[in-house]
Amino acid sequence: MNFDPRYSGRSFTSVGTRPIRPDGVDKVTGRARYGADFNMAGQLVGRVLRSPHAHAKIRKIDTSKAEKLAGVKAVITAADLPDLTDGDAAMYDILDNCMAREKAFYDGHAVAAVAAVDARTARQALKLIEVDYEVLPHVVDVDEAMKHTAPLLNDAIFTEGLDEKPVKPSNVTKRTQFGHGDIQEGFGQADFVVERSFKTEQTHQGYIEPHACVANVSSDGTADLWVCTQGHFVYRQHCAQLLGMEASKLRVTSSEIGGGFGGKTHVWAEPVALALSRKAGRPVKLVMTRDEVFRASGPTSATSIDVRIGARKDGTITAAEATLRYSCGPYAGMWAEIGAMTAFACYKLDNVKTVGYEVLVNRPKTAAYRAPSAPMAAFAVESAVDELAKEIGMDPVDFRIRNAAQEGTRSSYGPVYGPIGIGPTLEAAKNHPHMKAPLGKNQGRGMACGFWFNFGGQTCTDLNIGMDGSVSLAVGTVDVGGSRASLSLVAAEELGIDYGQVKAVVADTSSLGYNDMTDGSRGTFSSSMATISAARNAIKVLRERAAQTWDIPVDDVIWEKGHAIAKGEKYGNLAALSLKEIAAASGKTGGPIAGHSELVADGAGVSFATHICDIEVDPETGSTRVLRYTVVQDAGKAVHPTYVEGQYQGGAAQGIGWALNEEYIYGKDGRLQNPGFLDYRIPVCSDLPMIDTQILEIPNPNHPYGVRGVGETSIVPPLAAIANAVSNAVGVRMTHIPMSPPRILAAIEAEREG
């Protein structure tokens, strides 16, 4: 179909309003069904045995005693998930992460699993599995892991991306580099240079719903999987490949999802549940405990970053350089690469260079977490930018405005920007009343900017018009935060009907074509594009049916406000036909009316935000309080502004937690010390103030309504904004995230003692 995705300025009727979401009532009455809320007749309980060691060779696993326990229906190890990945290294890593093969690489790595008639029997069975481990030296710190003396996780890994091919294996899987210009020359022009090193600790997405699925493999080779996921089509592909099934024989239904933030874009337990079901010949329900979620599902990278920026007296940045080291867990990743791409994306730079190193450590496999890799890079860069502004004697906002990227700027990672929002968000922040509010004793204000690419990807949508004129919208991007409401608004807008006439559902993998998962802030961007396209296709059919009814050429029929209208004076006596009327007659005019769309949503507009926050620090204890927080972000076009605000607020809150208290704490034995919400401290209600939001709308030229993704950018600036605020409050530059009270107090004391 010739769908033109370009932006055209227009006024809206439905888009931009704030109706109640279609899945709302089920969610406030407890009826909505999440991953663990589904059961099948005859279902077994699946449980996973996990390594207690950070790094160990698996010599032997004896499952015989567990198999003999009454009520145990299947026990599996890596032998039951043979390697069918056919040289696909990334898939092999997923397989090995789902079930350890030769080595357990981290505390919590799955080594075996059981399916039994009830939870108690399954737990007992796990205790009867005997694993003979040879414990190996481990390394969890990213800088330690880079040393030549560090224990090697994988001796088949030789660093990629070096000028000379290395002769020795390394924990560094890859070096990447981005930038342009000549930084030596740039630093030569600088009157001021700031050079600083930073560290950030590993965090978890912290979704409240643990991973959960019900797998049912039939003896005819077909299977069903009910699962909480951000991408059921991708889960289908991965599970089918790992289990040697044809994709079409595995139907995956995405349940309501209780938070994902990137963490539910990766399979962990699902292939295991399918393998258990296949072996037991019965449905298997597998739900992770909170402890397992922390120990064995995807955290972010821990990082170590050096930044150097130079500027002239007039405030122009002349050169910028960063070296970023990101932990990947035990398998290769591209986390430092993304960090290196995003680090200086906010700025217009003639000379810039960033280098990323991907580092293997004995921690869980790093997973995406909301704008993955960008918050840490922004923390380092935006902290250094604040320092540099201070050295020059410029206001930090003015300094950033002076150097902000704009339309036509060549970004630090390569592409040339179209219309972008970094300048406008900075101007809005400068003029925000928050910037002028007075501060008290021990209080500091900080601000910072953030960037995220956003993503489009493969998308498929069906729009079916019922004979009563109501519209069913089937989308394939999982709704993680209200997108069914936004997409219903878009369908209503295109068709010219009421929002209440549209009902959006997330279709299963057998009912709709392939969709990429809900990541990269693509849910509303890409599915709204596909919905617009599908609606326009449906309108074409509606016009044809009206033309047929009237017996006039279809080119003479236009669609306006939910009606087919015969254009031109010669049709003056033809009353407009409503969507409802055309639908009612559809059985006689050619059958069901629908619009479909399969497309690759290119041109996701990049996104920028500026955050401002005020922090109070108790100088005697290092305790912090967030007094005020403001988010300014470009949405392109806010389809449902309330849910856009929700994304801004939620990302900010996660960033605040990351900045202040959240971190993975490993003991000397390499075991995770805090695998629970008690000591992995995500913000509670009383930790936060109201989070003010300001939505800017700088249209994305590559979307009919100008929509940009909004979900991720809001987590990028908070680490730096809070670090700048704390640093301003205590008069010491904070360089280690999270800024927990012991770290702040230690920094204050060190400064006091000189």
Partner 1 sequence: MRYIRPLSIEDAAGLLAGSTGTAAILAGGSDLLVRMKGGFIEPDLIVDIKAIEGLNEIRETSEGFGIGAAVPCAVLGESKALKKAWPGVVEAANLIGSKQVQGRCTIVGNLCNASPAADSVPALVAAGAKAVVVGPGGRRTIAVEAVPTGPGKTSLAKGEIIEAILLDRRPPRAGDAYLRFIPRTEMDIAVVSAGVNLTLDEQGRVKSARLALGAVAATVILVEEAAEVLVGSKLDEATLERLAKVCSGACRPIDDKRGTIEFRRKVAGVLAKRAAIAAYKRAGGK
Partner 2 sequence: MAGVAVSTTINGDDVEYLCQPDETLLDVLRDRLGLTGAKEGCGTGDCGACSIILDDRLVCSCLVLGAEAEGRRVETIEGMAHGDSLHPLQQKFLEHAALQCGICTPGFLIAAKDLLAKNPDPTEEEIRFGLAGNLCRCTGYDKIVRAVQDAASVMKGA
By CB under 8 A, name the binding residues for partner 2. 18, 20-21, 23-25, 27-34, 36-37, 39, 120, 205-210, 256-261, 287, 289-290, 480-482, 642-643, 645-646, 649-650, 652-654, 676-678, 682-686, 688, 690-691
The β-bridge relationship of strands 250-254 and 172-180 is unpaired
Which residue do the tokens 């289990």 mark?
Answer: 243
Q: Interacting stretch for partner 1, rule CB under 8 A, among 139-147, 174-182, 393-401, 615-623? A: 615-623
CB atoms within 10 A of CB 58: 21
Residue from 481, 108, 39 nearest 268 by CA: 108
Q: Which of 50, 58, 48 is nearest to 114 (CA)?
A: 48
Phi, psi of 227 (to 5 degrees): -160, 150
By CB under 8 A, name the one of 134, 391, 749, 751 that touches partner 1. 749
Strands 623-634, 44-50: pairing is: unpaired
Q: Which entry of partner 2, partner 1, none binds 690, CB below 5 to 8 A by partner kind?
A: partner 2
- State yes or no: residue 683 binds partner 1 (CB under 8 A): yes
Among 446, 622, 636, 699, indicate the residue that binds partner 1 (CB under 8 A).
622
- Give exposure, 421-453, as e/b (b: 16+ Cβ within 10 Å): bbbbbbbbbbebebeeeebeeebbbbbbbbbbb
Smallest distance from partner 1 to CB 687, Å: 5
Please state whether beta strands 284-287 and 44-50 pair in parallel, antiparallel, or not at all (unpaired).
Answer: parallel
Which residue reads 């409503």 in tokens? 578
Alpha carbon distance 3, 537 (integer Å)? 9
- Quick check: 689 binds partner 1 (CB under 8 A)? no
Picked from partner 1, partner 2, none, the partner binding residue 673 (CB below 5 to 8 A depending on kind) is: partner 1
Phi, psi of 192 (to 5 degrees): -130, 140
Q: Which does 7 bind (CB under 5 to 8 A by kind): partner 1, partner 2, none?
A: none
Contact pattern for partner 1 over residues 274 through 293, marking x by CB under 8 A: -----------------x--
Q: Which is nearer to partner 1, 149 or 686 (CB)?
A: 686
How many chain residues touch partner 1 (CB under 8 A)?
25
510 sits near partner 1 (criterion: CB under 8 A): no
Q: Quick one: what does residue 280 bind among partner 2, partner 1, none, with the CB cut-off 5 to 8 Å set by partner type?
A: none
By beta-carbon proximity to partner 2, the closer residue of 167 and 690 is 690
Residue 751 binds partner 1 (CB under 8 A): no
The CB-of-485 to partner 2 minimum distance in angstroms stands at 9
Q: Per rule CB under 8 A, is residue 690 in the interface with partner 1?
A: no
Kindly state whether residue 123 participates in binding partner 1, applying the rule CB under 8 A. yes
**Residue 31 contact partner, candidates partner 1, partner 2, none, CB within 5 to 8 A by sort of partner:** partner 2
**Residue 28 binds which of partner 1, partner 2, none (CB < 5-8 A, kind-dependent):** partner 2
665 binds, among partner 2, partner 1, none (CB under 5 to 8 A by kind): partner 1
3-state SS class at 522: coil
Site stretch for partner 1 (CB under 8 A), options 170-178, 292-300, 585-593, 673-681? 673-681
Instruction: Tell me the C-alpha distance between 256 and 205, whole Å.
Output: 17
Task: Look at residue 21 and give the partner it binds from partner 2, partner 1, none, a contact being a CB closer than 5 to 8 Å depending on partner kind.
Answer: partner 2
Q: Does 197 bind partner 1 (CB under 8 A)?
A: no
Please say whether the beta carbons of 330 and 106 come within 8 A. Answer: yes
C-alpha–C-alpha distance, residues 125 and 448, integer Å: 52
The gap between the terminal CA atoms of the chain, to the nearest Å, is 69
* Token pair recorded at residue 324: 């970023």
727 binds partner 1 (CB under 8 A): no
Q: Among partner 2, partner 1, none, what does residue 623 contact (CB within 5–8 Å per kind)?
A: partner 1
* Angle of helix 374-392 versus helix 641-660 axis, rounded to 10: 80
Return the amino acid letter for 249.
K
309 within 8 A of 317, measured Cβ to Cβ: yes
Contact between 684 and partner 1 per CB under 8 A: yes
Q: Report in angstroms how near the CB of residue 470 gets to partner 1 at its nearest.
A: 42
Q: Does 746 bind partner 1 (CB under 8 A)?
A: yes
Residue 713 DSSP symbol: G
Strand partners, 116: 45, 72
Task: Tell me the β-bridge partners of 191.
Answer: none
Are 700 and 708 within 8 A, CB to CB? Answer: yes
Least distance to partner 2, CB of residue 510, Å: 24
What does the alpha-carbon distance between residue 170 and residue 153 come to, in Å, rounded to a whole number?
8
Q: Which residues bind partner 1 (CB under 8 A)?
A: 123, 291, 620-623, 660-661, 665, 673-674, 677-679, 681, 683-684, 686-687, 740-742, 745-746, 749
